[in-house]
Amino acid sequence: MQKPTLPKGTRDFGPVELKRRKLIINTIQNVYEHFGFEPLETPAMENLSTLTGKYGDEGDALLFKILNSGDFLKKVDEGRFQQAKENPNSLLPQISEKGLRYDLTVPLARFVVQHQHELQFPFKRYQIQPVWRADRPQKGRYREFWQCDADVIGTDSLVCESDFVKIYQLVFNALGFTSYDIRINHRSLLEAIAQTVGFNGPLTQLTVSIDKLDKIGWEGVGKELESNGFTSDQVSRLQVLLTTSRCTPEFIEQLASALSDGEAKDRALMALRELRELTPGIDQASVSLDLSLARGLDYYTGFIFEASIPDSGIGSVSGGGRYDNLTGVFGLSGVSGVGISFGIDRLYDCMDALGLFGGVDRPTANILLCHFDERTRTKCAEIADALRADGIKTEVYPDIKKLRKQLDYANKRGYPFIGVVGEEEFNQDTIQLKNMESGDQSVVPQSNLSKLLK
RNA sequence: GUGGUUGUAGCUCAGUUGGUUAGAGCGCCUGAUUGUGGUUCAGGAGGUCGCCGGUUCGAGCCCGGUCUUCCACCCCA
């Protein structure tokens, strides 16, 4: 007999975990709906051609591929086998044509392109589904995890970005976080910074390094930049420019004078000023303008967002940004989109670490009815029906066992109340109502029970 | 994908230079209490030492492989 196991990086969710996860999901979903987002679901698998080439080379390596059904070697000829010994990936198109989704953004882009004539733009959708990555698991990093995305497609209005800042604040407050960190930046700001220090190479040579600032500090980032073609003078000028600050008018003016003039600077400052106007809460301490925030800039073209919970030991719990041409690869160009994505699994880990799940770890029912024999058990079933009709969540202990066992069970499951119907109670149409927390109990008429429990 | 790390009872962990029958705490079950839990007391069950192979008279311990866990890199929710 073999012991059953789960694939690496996947987990079961038992009743406790699922109730906690649903709390997170429902909270986010409610906030999204308050901002007018509509639900969308797409299949777990997509055509490999839809997925590949969208996440860079490393992303392609992290895709889970699905082996073709039946004789999956049918399409492979002899020459290919020889080639495959050198480069196994060359076989891939012949043996696999589907893959598991890697995120929710590319499926959204595919959906929008396929249904462009039925949708009303701006198209606002949210999507809460699992995604899969063949990454090596660690704490806060899984191979199957859930994302909660919200995106707006078909407008470049900064009202969307402003909404997302507000959504962040509402979600984190609703989940009970007293401290959270929302960081924003703008791609044009990074371009303007590169121009200011006189760097003309590809922007990613700057961003992939500065994104690691919180991890390896200026010492490490400086070394990496210099090996990427920056002079030590440019590095020290970057060090002065790349600050983090509250998003105040003063800071924006400070940037205006520090950056050298150009198109990127104008674009960035105009966007920042407009976002400020639209978002009164933006200069709260929870929101910062972090010029070193870069993320995977491959497709982001405007504002970038990232959110995390300080001191949780977990990386970011959400990320997002604007991408001007996401649907371009599927043949629909000139459509701008902006979106964010919460990672439920990481939010869960943060909330667990901070003990924020207090209320959900109780049984579904409020009261457990206990009894001694078939006659009193039947009576309990009758009482239970009446209580449920009054909207009280009620359970009848299913087996006929010692009262001790029934109380023990009630205690372990955490019912706030139990009711006992024995010989005496049966004859007098009463019930022993016991508060499991205080231990107090009293005999009450069955007809009064639901009033007392409300 | 690269380098490292972890795995012993349901859980958290001991386990001597390789030596007889692998332990503890907590949890679980039974009873003290045939109508009262969360306290106490008495007793009990539960382990192919992750898996496969090797070395040895003998392996939980040494060696190889594999799976898993966690960590760093890469990247990311």
Render pLDDT for A96-121 as a digit per residue (tens, 0 to 9).
899 999 999 999 999 999 999 999 99
User: What does the pLDDT average to over A146-158?
Assistant: 95
- Measured N-to-C along each axis, helices A263-278 and A158-175 cross at an angle, to the nearest 10 degrees, of 50
User: What does the pLDDT average to over A392-410?
Assistant: 93
The structure tokens 């009280």 sit at: A392
User: What does the pLDDT average to over A112-138?
Assistant: 94
Mean model confidence pLDDT for chain A = 89
* Sequence-ordered list of residues with C-beta below 8 angstroms from that of A13, at least 6 positions apart, any chain: A21
User: What does the pLDDT average to over A209-230?
Assistant: 82
ipTM score for this prediction: 0.84
Q: Is the dihedral of CA A251, A257, A258, A264 positive or negative?
A: positive
What pLDDT is attached to residue A3? 67
Query: CB of A166 under 7 A from strand B?
Result: no
Strand ranges across the sheet with A394-396: A394-396, A367-370, A417-420, A430-435, A441-445
User: What does the pLDDT average to over A168-191?
Assistant: 93
Query: CB of A137 under 7 A from strand B?
Result: yes
What pLDDT is attached to residue A1? 47
Q: Which residues of A349-367 are buried (b: 16+ CB within 10 A; e: fewer)?
A: bbbeebebbeeeeebebbb
pLDDT digits (tens, 9 = 90+) for A64-84: 999 888 888 777 777 777 777
What pLDDT is attached to residue A296? 64
The structure tokens 């909330």 sit at: A351
Query: CB of A117 under 7 A from strand B?
Result: no
Least confident window among A34-43, A207-216, A263-272, A329-338: A207-216
Query: CB of A434 under 7 A from strand B?
Result: yes
> A49: exposed, middle or buried (C-beta count within 10 Å: 0-12, 13-18, 19+)?
exposed
How far, in Å, is the CA of A21 from the C1' of nucleotide B40? 39
Query: CB of A437 under 7 A from strand B?
Result: yes
Whether the Cβ atoms of residue A145 and residue A130 lie closer than 8 Å to each other: yes
Whether the Cβ atoms of residue A359 and residue A388 lie closer than 8 Å to each other: no
What pLDDT is attached to residue A56? 80
What pLDDT is attached to residue A297? 58
Least confident window among A66-75, A83-92, A206-215, A428-437: A83-92
Query: CB of A142 under 7 A from strand B?
Result: yes
List bases, strand B, within 7 Å of protein CB: 1-3, 28-30, 33-38, 48, 50, 67-77
CA A320 to CA A149: how far, in whole Å? 9
Query: CB of A135 under 7 A from strand B?
Result: yes
- pLDDT above 90 covers a percentage of chain A that reads 59
How far, in Å, is the CA of A372 from the C1' of nucleotide B32? 21
What pLDDT is attached to residue A298? 67
What pLDDT is attached to residue A315? 78
What pLDDT is attached to residue A359? 67
User: What does the pLDDT average to over A261-287?
Assistant: 93
pLDDT band at residue A442 under the 50/70/90 scheme:
very high
How far, in Å, is the CA of A108 from the C1' of nucleotide B16? 62
pLDDT digits (tens, 9 = 90+) for A378-398: 999 999 999 999 999 999 999
Query: CB of A209 under 7 A from strand B?
Result: no
Is residue A173's pLDDT more than 90? yes
Give backbone dihedrals phi and psi of A54, rounded to 5 degrees, phi first.
-100, -15
Which nucleotide lies nearest residue A319, CA to C1'?
Answer: B77
What pLDDT is attached to residue A447? 94
Closest CA to A67 of A41, A100, A106: A100
Kindly list the structural domains of chain A, giving each domain's residue range(s) and its CATH number in brackets, ordered by start.
363-453 (3.40.50.800)
Q: Residue A140 in 3-state DSSP?
A: coil
Whether the Cβ atoms of residue A12 and residue A135 lie closer than 8 Å to each other: no
User: What does the pLDDT average to over A33-42?
Assistant: 97
* Sequence-ordered list of residues with C-beta below 8 angstroms from that of A250, at least 6 positions apart, any chain: none
